[in-house]
Chains A and B, each alone.
Chain A
Amino acid sequence: MLKVEDLQVYYGMINAIKGVSFEVNEGEVVALIGANGAGKTTILHTVTGLVAAKSGHVYLEGRDLCKLPAHKIVYLGMAHVPEGRRIFQQLTVYDNLRLGAFSLKDKAKIESNINYVFKHFPRLLERKNQIAGTLSGGEQQMLAMGRALMSNPKIILMDEPSMGLSPLLVAEIFKIISEVSKDGTTVLLVEQNAKKALSIADRAYVLETGKIVMEGKASDLLNDPRIKAAYLGE
């Protein structure tokens, strides 16, 4: 479904992504793990067009995205939950969700998506008219995910959804990611919480300073001694 080929990304002179290739198949949950500064966010930003690639290709269902402006991507069925949530702080929860459906025209579809989001995040329903900036960190994360789901994506990219959350909330967020996947949405999950990510993913890629150094089935990586030492703290 999503295919990235030999991606090179520069920030000025700095070569942040050095020839990365990976693939996400329909229905999969794929994890992309790596330490701080490895380039995970940069990859997601390049995939959705917020950062331009120097070379390489990004294909969504065979279509090359590199020449498309960022705002066209969501219309092709790809949503992105950005790092740090980036919800619209001054707007209400409900307006944030409405903006999440900006790419849709069909009112009935938007309504049913809102119900879908409220079903998975009952907390958002309780706080429908609250200004988003006053939500707790965990609620903001839920809103960021709900907002992305509002566009009815075929594939959703999530950048560290567990960042800064208490263990209980982390568990809840991961449970919802599994549910979203079961409902048929393909997931590309970027995480520093490698243990959690590997436990729900089908496959995973390990990124180190802009290069993929390892890939495989998530269950295999979870037991790999190198991964254990470097990312699982065991």
Chain B
Amino acid sequence: MSSFFSYLITGISLGSIYALIALGYTMVYGIAKMLNFAHGDVIMIGGYIVFTAVSTLGWSSGLGIFGAIFCGILGCLLLGVLVEKVAYKPLRNAPSLAVLITAIGVSYLLQNIALLIFGSNPKNFSSVVMFDGFSIGKVRISGETVVTIAVSVLIMIGLTLFVNHTKSGMAMLAVSEDKGAAQLMGVNVNRTISLTFAIGSALAGVASILLCSTYPLLSPYTGAMPGIKAFTAAVFGGIGSIPGAMIGGVILGVIESLSKAYISSQFSDAIVFGVLIIVLLVKPTGIMGKKLNEKV
């Protein structure tokens, strides 16, 4: 029983990271109607920024750590906005296949840049979490797990409040439904899309720090698998839906952790994707996805 509980907690923690990444996919999809396949690689770049700050520049204690975290998040934010400006904005009216291929191109570009600078040998990321965690009965909960869950919950609450209760958040909702109608209300669509990329990428930055602190091996391909899993989580929850991405991410993490523990660690990914297929067969729009009938 206590081991079940600890697998569950691990799953929730991993799932929170997926959820943070999935938020970026789902928000960008909702607003720009594109799958930003480079999103996972933004995470990897965030990891390297923090790694460089902590291990190369030696910002490894106290204020230094906060500086490193700040640089990592800011770096991801700027990278996301830059990628949107340079690679996606010129394709605003292009067919979606062209945009998709561009996104895949950007993904490889980022991986290759990291390969060029940092080489292919994995780096050992030292955790930025300074807190040792605690035990409940026999169950040991690591500091990383506690921080990951706490940070994710705070971010999700903050994001929900932002989207539903601020002008910029409302503008995002409006653009995601109807760009033309949003413009008629006075919403600047380009600025809203930039803002969405900024938020999504900053969340990727947070996710990267949490991910690398828990799973410390950092390589140019570090972002790929979590990226795909988070994308799966976004689809699972209903792509375009913010609560869907949160729920989808957590469920995915829990399924992965439990199937690793009780079924097979080799098959856990197959099980995760199998569950996705079943959910999509039963409810093609995902758990929280909704499609309203248009009225004439």
Q: Which residues of A contact B (CB under 8 A)?
A: 48-50, 69-75, 79-80, 82, 86-91, 95, 98-100, 102-103, 131, 133-137, 140, 147-148, 151, 164
Contact = CB atoms under 8 A, between A and B. Distances in A.
Given A102-B171, A133-B292, A89 B177 contact: yes
A82 B180 CA distance: 9
B90 to A, nearest CB: 17
Contacts of B292: 89-90, 131, 133-134
Given A90-B173, A102-B167, 15 more contacts: A50-B184, A69-B188, A71-B189, A75-B186, A82-B180, A82-B181, A88-B178, A99-B171, A102-B174, A102-B185, A102-B187, A136-B295, A137-B295, A137-B296, A151-B185
30 contacts: A48-B184, A50-B180, A70-B183, A71-B182, A71-B183, A71-B186, A71-B188, A71-B189, A74-B185, A74-B186, A75-B186, A82-B180, A82-B181, A82-B184, A86-B178, A86-B181, A88-B177, A88-B181, A89-B177, A91-B177, A95-B170, A99-B185, A99-B187, A100-B185, A102-B170, A102-B185, A102-B186, A102-B187, A103-B186, A135-B295
Contacts of A90: 173, 177, 290, 292
Contacts of A137: 295-296
B184 A79 contact: yes
Among the interface residues A70, A80, A100, A136, which one has the most CB atoms of the partner chain B within 10 A? Answer: A70
Interface in B102-149: none
A80 B184 CA distance: 7
Interface of B: 167, 170-171, 173-174, 177-178, 180-189, 290, 292-296
A69 B178 CA distance: 16
A133 B178 CA distance: 13
A44 to B, nearest CB: 10
A74 B290 contact: no
A103 B295 CA distance: 27
Among the interface residues B170, B177, B181, which one has the most CB atoms of the partner chain A within 10 A? Answer: B181
Contacts of A73: 184
A137 B189 CA distance: 27
Contacts of B174: 88, 91, 99, 102
Contacts of A75: 186
B295 A74 contact: no
Given A90-B177, A133-B292, A137-B295, A49 B185 contact: no
B195 to A, nearest CB: 14
A89 B240 CA distance: 14
Contacts of A136: 295
Contacts of A69: 183, 188
Contacts of A102: 167, 170-171, 174, 185-187
